[in-house]
Chains A and B, each alone.
Chain A
Amino acid sequence: MRSELRKIDRFWRVYKKRKSAVAGLIILTVLVTIIVFAPVFSPYDPDAKDAIPFTPPGSEHLLGTNDIGVDILSEMIYAGRVSLIVGITAAGIVVFIGSLIGLFAGFLGGWVDEILMRITDIVIILPRFPLMIVMAAYLGPGVWTIIFAYSIVGWPSLTRQIRSQILSVKEASFIEASRATGAGNIRIMFTHVLPNIQGIIIANGVMEIMFAILTEAGLSFLGLGDPTQKSWGVMLYFAQIQGAFLRGAWWWIFPPGICIALISCSFNYIGTALNDLFGLKLGK
């Protein structure tokens, strides 16, 4: 345990030198804190429709109200939960699929690699966004539809990265040493190969959360999200169809937009930093 703490300490010392990475971490911490403790931070019930519609920001409603008299700030804080959960879940599934396929393809090689990588090639050339729209249209709007659609098309680029990392790790002589003790492929893959690329997987996982949140926002904005579970994307969708743009209700459009941008930026900064840091370590 002590060596784990030492490792974290060493890691933090390198990490904190990167201003963008620290900024990303701060933004993310603030946003996640607000989102997780939504009842504490939101001034009103996000479902209460008792305010005057289209009230501009003021002392009573910091970010104004929407067309049915819901407080935007409260709605936005709760919508963050949906965005974040969808993003993390979809990214988790993508990382799981991508890592496994990359692991088997890269480590086993031969015809397994050949088959898995050809499938990857096919999925990677599919036009992602139109395909997700079609899938979402057939499966009906909803949170799980978006997660499913994203999982189906989101894994190939991660798979390729993981595979290329594995190709270099599997040449290390500790892999051969393990084989010489009598260990089989599965054991070697999960006890030696995977732990040695976990940094790359974590870094890519963080980036995947960003892509997933952006994709969710995009699909929801097009009306493929769940109208009863409002995410930031769904908020924008309603703003659009209820005429926020025509009425110049900027307070309904900017806040969720800025939230999407902020959270994406923070995941991006953190992910980039992790990728660099773990990448350096692997070279050693």
Chain B
Amino acid sequence: MDAIYRITDLTKSYPLPGGGLLKKNRKVFRAVDKVSLEINSGDTFGIVGESGSGKTTLARLLLRLIEPTDGNVYYKGRDVFRLNRSELKKTRKEIQMIFQDPYSSLDPRKSIFNIIAEPLKVHKTGSLSDIHTRIVETLELVDLPTSDDFLSKTPGEISGGQRQRIGIARALVLKPEFVVADEPVSMLDASIKAGIIELMTQLKKKINLTYVFITHELALAYHFCNRIAVMYLGEVVETGNIDDVIQSPAHPYTRLLLDSIPPTEPDPDWLDKRFGKSDFSRNAEGCKFFVRCPNPKDSCLHFRPSLSEIKRGHMVACQLG
């Protein structure tokens, strides 16, 4: 299998407030910290982590919606950040994104038709009737009505689940090869959520899509993905085939996440309460997970582990193994 995406040492940092008048001692917050990954064609690649772990930042970097501080992203062998404007536009035709918030990701002033037509118009793919045909096809694909009445509605007039399907339709209308789904169901009710996941699973079977699926729910990733990367404070701490990672987690953080699955009504702060607060500014040295690790060693305080292979394709960034 060939890598459709190759990410090397990708870093995105944001300056933190303070650091004196001349900002000489300004600290930075590394939202994504030296991430290296490979995503193969046909993968459904899960990126899992809690809020603030840099999942969304990584997704936005993949699509070059933001510029990185350091590192490279190769899409089909070409550096995404070196593409010129027209090359980037061409590439964007192949890479699409499904957004987290079905409410704010659709322009409230545009009709359903115009929202789904936009990608087609941007890439000038034929006449208005061609566009109409494509939109109807795509709406059928995502199980939405195709009547003119529905097409003329605005996002305010349809339900949250339908909105997210519109978001998926917008991403699929250009027939992309690669789709990044950024927590596509986290803002939906449980019943609607199941429908969307089911839809995305079917779409994967119907069209040959490579997915990057971002989520904070390990269980969801287990259900949906074949490969996974677990992120913690901007770093990938473990990556591998989903079964390897879930059944024999090697990093203590992955184990923690697994332990957290059972409660149906999880307390959002349970991690902080149980293991102390993450220190976001800690990027000097040592393992980032140190403060929360259930069995840290002294050496963890000074040594930052990098990803190393413990089994073919299963990599972990923890010296305890």
Contacts and interface: CB of A to CB of B under 8 A. Distances in A.
Interface of A: 2-3, 172-174, 176-184, 187, 191-192, 195-196, 284
B99 A176 contact: yes
Interface residues of B, number: 32
A78 to B, nearest CB: 40
B97 A180 contact: yes
18 contacts: A2-B152, A173-B105, A174-B107, A176-B65, A177-B105, A177-B106, A178-B107, A178-B118, A179-B65, A181-B170, A182-B88, A182-B93, A182-B122, A183-B118, A184-B85, A192-B110, A195-B107, A195-B110
A181 B96 CA distance: 7
Contacts of B101: 173
Contact of A181 (B108, B110, B122): B122
A177 B109 contact: no
Interface string B136-154: 0000000000000000111
Given A182-B92, A182-B123, A183-B118, A177 B170 contact: yes
Contacts of B286: none
B140 to A, nearest CB: 20
B86 to A, nearest CB: 10
A181 B65 CA distance: 11
B104 interface: yes
B93 A174 contact: no
A180 B96 contact: yes
Contacts of A187: 122
Interface string B80-95: 0000010011001100
- By DSSP majority rule, is chain B's interface helix, strand, loop, or mixed? loop
Nearest to A176: B65
Nearest to B109: A195
Contacts of B123: 181-182
B161 interface: no
A177 B153 contact: no
B96 A196 contact: no
Interface string B59-81: 01001010000000000000000
B174 interface: yes
Contacts of A173: 99-101, 104-105
A196 B170 contact: no
Contacts of B99: 173, 176-177
B65 A180 contact: yes
B296 interface: no
Nearest to A195: B109
Contacts of A181: 92, 96, 118-119, 122-123, 170, 174
B109 A196 contact: yes
B63 A180 contact: yes
A182 B89 contact: yes
B198 interface: no
A284 B93 CA distance: 31
B243 interface: no
Given A181-B174, A196-B107, A3 B154 contact: yes
A238 B101 CA distance: 63
> Top 4 A-B pairs ranked by shortest CB distance?
A182-B92, A181-B119, A173-B105, A174-B107
B157 interface: yes
Nearest to B154: A3
A224 B239 CA distance: 77
Nearest to B119: A181
Contacts of B109: 195-196
B174 to A, nearest CB: 7
B127 to A, nearest CB: 19
Contacts of A174: 104-108
A178 B65 CA distance: 11
Contacts of A184: 85, 89
Interface in B279-297: none
Contacts of A3: 111, 152-154, 157
Contacts of B96: 180-181
A174 B100 CA distance: 11
A148 to B, nearest CB: 34
Nearest to A194: B109
B110 to A, nearest CB: 8
A192 B122 CA distance: 13
A2 to B, nearest CB: 7
A178 B116 CA distance: 10
A178 B97 CA distance: 10
Given A178-B107, A179-B65, A181-B118, 20 more contacts: A2-B152, A3-B154, A173-B99, A173-B104, A174-B105, A174-B108, A176-B60, A177-B105, A180-B97, A181-B122, A182-B89, A182-B92, A182-B119, A182-B122, A182-B123, A183-B122, A192-B107, A192-B110, A195-B110, A196-B109
Contacts of A176: 60, 65, 99, 105
A179 B88 CA distance: 11
A47 to B, nearest CB: 48
Contacts of B106: 174, 177
